[in-house]
Chains A and B, each alone.
Chain A
Amino acid sequence: MMHSTTAGTDATPTSRPAQRRAGFTWSSLPARLGWWLAQALLWLFMITVVFPMVWTVFSSLKSSPELFNAPWGLPAAPQWQNYVNAWTKMNAGVYLLNSVLVSAFALTSVMMTGALVAYVLARYPFPGNRIIYFYFIAGMMIPGFLAYIPAWFLHMSLGLLDTRTGLVIQYTAFFLPFTVFFLHSFFRTLPRELEEAAIVDGASLYTVFWRIMLPLSKSGLLTIAVFNFLSVWNEFMWALITLSRDEIKTLPLGMANLQQNAKYATDWGAMFAGFVIMLIPTFIIYAIFQNRLTEGITIGAIKG
């Protein structure tokens, strides 16, 4: 057997376990070797993802001399002090708070505005509907850099530069096109009958949206929310250009600071610890919503 045929249950009905011959023949040798090699490469790649992460966590619990003398070993005595130092001296707490605030507000804002636009565009064939739809979709093709300079001046004249509010508004504008695109294709698939029945029963159009359409779209809303959350949480370039005060910087900027300080740092353990602190939220989100992410990409691939 080349590998297990009891590969578990998979939710995809179109795929099926590969059929393979049990007997050995010399003519099948090259194919088998190729298969083994390919599998080895997959495992190797998995190691390059997992191992640095594990190593980083171990390193965050080591003292500086230990890092240099025993980079491979487990921490002799866990140095929890590293985490205290990272939290206090490297501002990890401040960055974390800012990221949470900005992400929460930007996510709410982009989801609300995006869902309203997508719903109307998907369900009401009013004159100009297609034009407005393509007007939003065009935003996915235009490089952000084109807008950065004028947007910077716009923020300056509106007093939004170097504020969290400015970030929230700009992120809403940046991530709106993809949200509209995604939710539009989702809302279109919802059945008309429910809507019509509710209207016959005397429900207003608003009620139909809030009480029927939104609850039916929960899974689509959740998927795009996860995408938007990660986009906002990880956004780096715009924050780099517009934020200069340290007390309002977000985590990606904190990470970049970490990188910059690494060249002169002496407290390596705390650096590793700061890195781990900043990564924990991403880990949690990924652990919970991994399926949502792959599902979102899947929809993109099939709609093509």
Chain B
Amino acid sequence: MLRREQWKLIIPFLAPGLLIYTIFSVYPSLRGIYISFFRWSGLTSNMTFIGMDNFARLWRELSDPADFYNVRLYLSHNLFLVIFSLATVFLGLAAAALVNQKPRGYKAFRVTFFFPNVLALPAIAVLWSMTLNPSFGLVNNALRSVGLEQFALPWLSLQYDLPFFKLGLYTVGFIGIWGGIGWFMILFLAAIQNVPAEYTEAATVDGASKLRIFWVITLPLIWETLRTVLVFVTIGMLSGFALPYVLFERMPQKHADLILSYYYFVAFRERNWGYAAAIVVGIFVVTFIASALAYRFLDRDTVQY
């Protein structure tokens, strides 16, 4: 039984956090779901209940490739970036496995690889748009000076065609990898170092190669971490948009827009708040299903030796 005195501590300790969180985070989220069923300009308090109409419009725009804003294309950009973020996770895992072997300079790897993760997105965007600048940028100058003139491309161009997507979008994907790899490296490094050394030592004595030890012993033991990370990454990237927003600035810009740029446009330019809310709810539901599926799909019995 709790004494009266304890309640006198519990209630005042909980109150401020609960209040701020409920008023400024929970209430707006629930309200967001609520207004997705309304037509609302935001300028008046006049909201019309229209049921599922906003979602029907979203579905219509998604299924129509000739649609002016090409929502389908935006969504495909998001899916494209999901591939890059999965690549980031696996490259981070590979980097962790390598750095765990303590090659020369491994401490420097840890410090420098993680650094991009503490930069604000606009900082990353500015850094890379300077580095990739066609006239004075680092990359193209380097390419020219070693005679690879033909590879000095307009890296951030949204006109330059490559298979499937424009060059600019590929560049965004690579900048995403650059910015994210260190986080996953540190995370997996911790998980790998948590694997008891006896297992790997025993395998080494038995003459197993390092690659095989990683594949057969380490990977199954860190599977749970990998699975959780993959699910969170899927959620994160489907709602990612800030990097292209800053890199390419103006919107809507057909060739690199993501689904959330469209949301931004609908909400703050078109002022159709109900529809904008429906877009986010739609993304949220799809992500939720996708991550639940990913979690199920990646389910394996946790190995216990």
Contact = CB atoms under 8 A, between A and B. Distances in A.
Interface residues of B, number: 105
A117 B14 contact: yes
B109 A42 contact: yes
A50 B29 CA distance: 40
Nearest to A298: B190
A234 B119 contact: yes
Interface stretch (A78-86, A173-181, A189-197): A173-181
Interface string B96-127: 00111111111111111111101111110111
Interface string B268-305: 10000100110011011001000000000000000000
B32 A31 contact: no
A11 to B, nearest CB: 10
B195 interface: yes
Interface in A141-156: 141-143, 145-151, 153-154
Most central of B116, B135, B194, B273 by chain A CB within 10 Å: B194
Contact of B122 (A136, A145, A209, A256): A256
B123 A68 contact: no
Q: Is the interface of B mostly helix, strand, loop or mixed?
A: helix
Contacts of A117: 13-14, 17-18
Contact of B25 (A16, A147, A272, A282): A147
B104 A169 contact: no
A253 B125 CA distance: 12
B130 interface: yes
Interface string A266-304: 001000100100110010011000100110011011101
Interface in A119-138: 119-121, 124, 126, 132, 135-136
A124 B75 CA distance: 46
Contacts of B253: none
Contact of A71 (B24, B141, B190, B242): B141
Nearest to A233: B120
A19 to B, nearest CB: 6
B166 to A, nearest CB: 18
Contact of A147 (B29, B95, B105): B29
A232 to B, nearest CB: 11
B193 A259 contact: no
Nearest to A274: B126
8 contacts: A19-B204, A42-B105, A71-B138, A124-B10, A143-B287, A147-B25, A258-B122, A297-B187
Interface of B: 2, 5-10, 13-14, 16-18, 20-21, 23-29, 31-33, 35, 42, 94-95, 98-116, 118-123, 125-131, 135-138, 141, 145, 178, 181, 183, 186-188, 190-191, 193-197, 201, 204, 209-211, 224-225, 228, 235, 239, 242, 246-247, 249, 260, 263, 267-268, 273, 276-277, 280-281, 283-284, 287
B186 A298 contact: yes
A46 B99 CA distance: 12
**Chain A, interface size: which category?**
35 or more
B105 A297 contact: no
Interface of A: 3-4, 7-8, 10, 12, 14-19, 31, 34, 38-39, 42-43, 45-46, 48-53, 55-56, 59, 67-68, 71-72, 112-114, 116-117, 119-121, 124, 126, 132, 135-136, 139, 141-143, 145-151, 153-154, 169-170, 172-174, 176-177, 180, 205-206, 209, 230, 233-237, 241, 251-253, 255-256, 258-260, 262, 268, 272, 275, 278-279, 282, 285-286, 290, 293-294, 297-298, 300-302, 304
Given A51-B138, A256-B122, A298-B190, A113 B20 contact: yes
Contacts of B130: 52, 56, 59, 262, 272, 275
Contact of A116 (B16, B121, B224): B16
A4 B246 CA distance: 43
A159 B260 CA distance: 27
Given A139-B26, A147-B32, A237 B242 contact: yes
B60 to A, nearest CB: 22
A206 B12 CA distance: 11
Contacts of A150: 27-29, 31-32, 35
B2 A126 contact: yes
A45 B95 CA distance: 10
Contacts of A237: 242
Q: 6 smallest A-B Cβ distances: which pairs?
A: A255-B122, A173-B24, A234-B120, A147-B28, A298-B190, A150-B31
Contacts of A236: 120-122, 242, 246
Contacts of B116: 49
B123 A116 contact: no
Contacts of A139: 21, 25-26
B123 A275 contact: yes
A10 B102 contact: yes
A108 B297 CA distance: 42
